Every structure is written in C-alpha cells, then in structure tokens.
Amino acid sequence: MTELAADVVLQVEDLRTHFELGRRVAKSVDGVSFSVRRGETVAVVGESGSGKSVTSLSIMRLLAPPGRIIGGRILYRRRDGSMVDIAELPEKAMRAVRGREIAMIFQEPMTSLNPLFTVGDQISEMILLHEPVGRAAARARAKRMLELVEIPAAERRLDDYPHQMSGGMRQRVMIALALACTPSLLIADEPTTALDVTIQAQILDLLRRLQAQIGMSILFVTHNLGVVAEIAHEVVVMYAGRVVEQAPVTRLFERQKHPYTRGLLACIPDASRDRGAAGERLRLNPIPGNVPNVTALPAGCSFAARCPYVVDVCTKDPGPPLVAAEVAHLSRCWRHEAL
C-alpha cells in the first residue's frame, strides 16, 4: 500500500459495491477507479441510478445492508501520512476517520440537522467527539466556524435552532459542521440541489474559498454540469455503475469523448442555442430512455440502447474498456476516435 503518489489523498481502485437482493444482484458500482489529489475538486457526475451516491457512501462506509463493498480498494492517506484501505478498515477505526478526516455534506439542508439542538450545540458536539477540548473551547471554535462560513452575527446564531434558519443558512451550518475538525477530504453529495440558484452560487463560492483557505480536497457528487463547470478541476462521468469518461474540466467541456457526456451537455437548455433561425423556440434535447436496471445490464456497452452513435460492435460482449482517448482523457467507448 505504498503506491500512492505523493499528492494523492484518495485513490479508489476498481471499487465494486453490490446490493444482493435475493437472487438478483444490483451492481450499483462496478469497477470504479479515480483519484483525488490534495486541494483538488473532483466532480462525480451522472443521472439518478448511475452509482455516484453509492460511490460516495462506499468511501464513507455508510452503506445500508444489503449494500456491500465486494471488491476493490479505497486507499486513503491519513493526516499522519499513513495509508489505509477504507474498504478493509474496522468499524471503530472508520468512526475516527468519519468527520475528523473525511466529512460529508448532504443534499437536504432542511433535514440534515437535528431539530432539537441549537446549531452551536451540534457543531460543539462534533468537535468534542473528535478532539480533547473543553466545552467552552468547543463553543468558541463553533463560533469561529460560523464566521468562517460567513453567517452574520455568529455569536447570536449559535443559539438558534435549525428551524429558525433558511435553507441556505442551514447548508452553511452543515458545511461549518463538516469542516469543524478540518478534514482532508470533503464529500459533498449534491449539496446545492435543494437550494435556489442564487444561493447555489453563494454556496459554491463559499466552498471554493474554504478549499483555498483550508487546503482540503473535495469530492463533489452532482448531476448538474453547470455546477461542475463552476467548481471542479477533474470530472468523472458515471453511467450504470461505471466510469464512462474522465478528464480535466476544461477539456471535458471542450471535447467529449463519450456520447453519454455529449448527451448530458446537450440536455442543458441554452437560450442562445435553442432558438431557430426565425427565433422560434426549439425543443429540449433529452437523452431518450432511462439508465438500465443495474440488476440486469445488457450485453456490451450499457449505454448502447440510448446512444445515437451506436454500431454493431456496441451490443456485443465484452463492452468497451476505459481507454485513454487523449492524454489525461479517458473514455469507455468503441468510437471515441470518431467523436
């Protein structure tokens, strides 16, 4: 376990997380690999059911049964420099990693805080849990955290209950809570999805600034490519439990080497593009069909049924491998050269 490059914080190798449902097996994550470098933001993008959330839950080891990591490694560099494989870590050791080294924020800021305790209490609880400090010191730190996430009148807000705050404020509190022990990696599972657009921009901006300040890495899970363009350095596109394309963000937006990514980008409504010559409104461009059922994946490429570029070889086993289409640009498509 010494093969991690010096600046890599997290390296997922051939991760397989399956859900055994009686005789059927849902291969929600099936051979996913990527790595996150220090101070970098990696976005994992995909539709519902692509396995992006299961990937992040696997890294946190928060899978509910029958979900189970059945293969692969999740190498993580701890703060003291030692390397651990999260997939094999005992639960007790994992608990010390959660929150202290890897923190997570969720999609639902409205319900991600316990309604019965003040936000100050909840942030303090987190600090007291992981660090040998007194109550008063924890409270002082909680106040600094609220200031850090730019909540005005932090001192007074410490004694507020979650229901007294707006969604955007609560997400800020969640971020303060997650960062209270200065983790090296923050996993953000669609943290802006439930917020309205202006607040989304504020939260993304905040995350970017905090990242620069604290130097943490972010694994950002989303289906929103607009958000990806805002925050990510590296993009991993997932489809039906696999990585289908991976590239640095600017390159990916310039040139897509997988038809799925191309389709995802075409789905974004664009006011200038969606008008015809006479200024009439054109239709939106959805990708037809749905993500295939991960308990019964088709032979060959799992995107073939929805792909506009499909040819005969696409439906034949085995499916396309993930190859370097260009330097630092991976694609899982037989026709990546034609794209």
Partner 1 sequence: MAASAPTAGNSERVRLLGLLLKRRTVVVGLVVLGLIAALAILAPLIAPYAPNKLSVVNRLKPPGGTWLFGTDEFGRDVFSRTIYAGRLSLLVGGAVVVMAAVLGVTLGLCAGFFRRLDTPIARIIDAMMAFPDILLAIALVAALGPSLVTVIVALGIVYAPRLARIVRASTLVIRELPYVEAARALGVSTPRIMTRHVLRNLVSPILVQGTFIFAYAMLAEAGLSFLGLGVSPEVPTWGTMIAAGRQYIGQADWMTLFPGVAIVLSVLSLQMVGDGLRDVLDPRLRKDL
Q: Which residues bind partner 1 (CB under 8 A)?
A: 60, 62, 65, 95-100, 103-108, 111-116, 118, 125-126, 129-130, 134-137, 139-140, 161, 163-164, 174, 177-178
Complex with partner 1: residue 36 or 235, whichever CB lies closer: 36
| Percentages of the chain per state (helix, strand, coil), in multiples of 5 | 35, 25, 40
By beta-carbon proximity to partner 1, the closer residue of 100 and 329 is: 100
Among residues 2 and 48, whose Cβ is nearest to partner 1?
A: 48
Provide, rounded to whole angstroms, the least separation between the CB of residue 167 and partner 1. Answer: 13
Smallest distance from the beta carbon of 158 to partner 1, in angstroms? 12
Helix or strand (DSSP H, E) at 329: strand 329-331
What is the H or E stretch that residue 74 is in? strand 67-77
Q: How far is the CB of 180 from partner 1 (least distance, A)?
A: 8
Cβ nearer to partner 1, comparing 191 with 263: 191
Least distance (Å) between residue 315 CB and partner 1: 39
d(Cα 225, Cα 250) in Å, to the nearest integer?
12
**Least distance to partner 1 from the beta carbon of 53, Å?**
11
Residue (74 or 237) nearer to partner 1, CB = 74
Helix residue spans in the chain (DSSP H): 52-60, 91-97, 119-130, 135-148, 154-157, 167-179, 197-214, 225-231, 249-254, 259-267
The nearest distance, CB 131 to partner 1, in angstroms, is: 11
**To which residue do tokens 């330097």 refer?**
327
Question: Which CB atom, from 170 or from 336, has the smaller least distance to partner 1?
Answer: 170
User: Closer to partner 1 at the Cβ: 85 or 108?
Assistant: 108
Report the C-alpha gap between 260 and 290 in whole angstroms.
Answer: 12
Strand partners, 36: 10
CA separation for the pair 78, 14 (Å, rounded)? 20
Give me the residues paired with residue 12 across strands: 34, 74
* Contacts of 336 by beta carbon, 8 Å cutoff, 6+ apart: 257, 258, 323, 325
CB of 189 to partner 1, least distance (A): 9
Nearer to partner 1, 113 or 238 (CB): 113
Query: What is the smallest separation between the CB atom of 207 and partner 1, expressed in angstroms?
Result: 17
CB 168 within 8 A of CB 203: yes
Strand-strand pairing, 217-222 and 41-45: parallel
DSSP 127-141: HHHHS---HHHHHHH
Q: Which two tokens stand for residue 181?
A: 């022990």
Question: Quick one: 184 or 246, whose CB is closer to partner 1?
Answer: 184
- Shortest reach from residue 175's CB to partner 1, in Å: 12
Measured between alpha carbons, how far is 262 from 82 in angstroms, rounded to an integer?
Answer: 40
Q: Which residue in 267, 260, 266 sits closest to 319, CA to CA?
A: 260
